[in-house]
């Protein structure tokens, strides 16, 4: 299994409070991703990173920000949590493409269940 951990694994917070979720990898993969999973919507990409300090928006980025100061850590911040951000959040990693782009398989962490009350 790819070495990906997420913390915390469960969190309950109140509307309006800031929340930071952490993803940590030991694989030295270049690409890291944050997804959210909701019933009826499947997984949707929030933000991704293609290197230290290099990030970009995904499909559902409003209300979220990210930071990556080290290869191994990718942080997702909810600046002011809302009930609509209650979800399960998954981090994923992917290899840096080499010659021929490689397989680009994505590996996922165990998830963080966030409840905003």
Partner 1 sequence: KQEVTQIPAALSVPEGENLVLNCSFTDSAIYNLQWFRQDPGKGLTSLLLIQSSQREQTSGRLNASLDKSSGRSTLYIAASQPGDSATYLCAVNSGGATNKLIFGTGTLLAVQP
Distance CA 19, CA 25 (A): 20
Q: Which of 42, 82, 40 is nearest to 62 (CA)?
A: 82
Rounded distance, CA 6 to CA 111, Å? Answer: 6
Q: Which of 40, 53, 62, 83 binds partner 1 (CB under 8 A)?
A: 40
CA 47 to chain centre: 7
| Binders of partner 1 in range 77-106 (CB under 8 A) | 90, 92, 94, 97, 101, 103-106
- Footprint (CB under 8 A) of partner 1, residues 15-34: 31, 33
Binding site for partner 1 (CB under 8 A): 31, 33, 35, 40-45, 48, 50, 56, 58, 90, 92, 94, 97, 101, 103-111
């Amino acid at each position: 299994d790819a070495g990906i951990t997420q913390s915390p694994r469960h969190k309950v917070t109140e509307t309006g409070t800031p929340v930071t979720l952490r993803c940590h990898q030991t694989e030295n993969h270049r690409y890291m991703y944050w997804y959210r999973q909701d019933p009826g919507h499947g997984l949707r990409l929030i933000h991704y990173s293609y290197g230290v300090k290099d990030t970009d928006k995904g499909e559902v980025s409003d209300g979220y920000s990210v930071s990556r100061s080290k290869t191994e850590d990718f942080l997702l911040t909810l600046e002011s949590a809302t009930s609509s951000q209650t979800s399960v959040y998954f981090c994923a990693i992917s290899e840096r493409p080499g010659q021929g782009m490689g397989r680009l398989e994505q590996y996922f962490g165990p998830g963080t269940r966030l409840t905003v009350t």
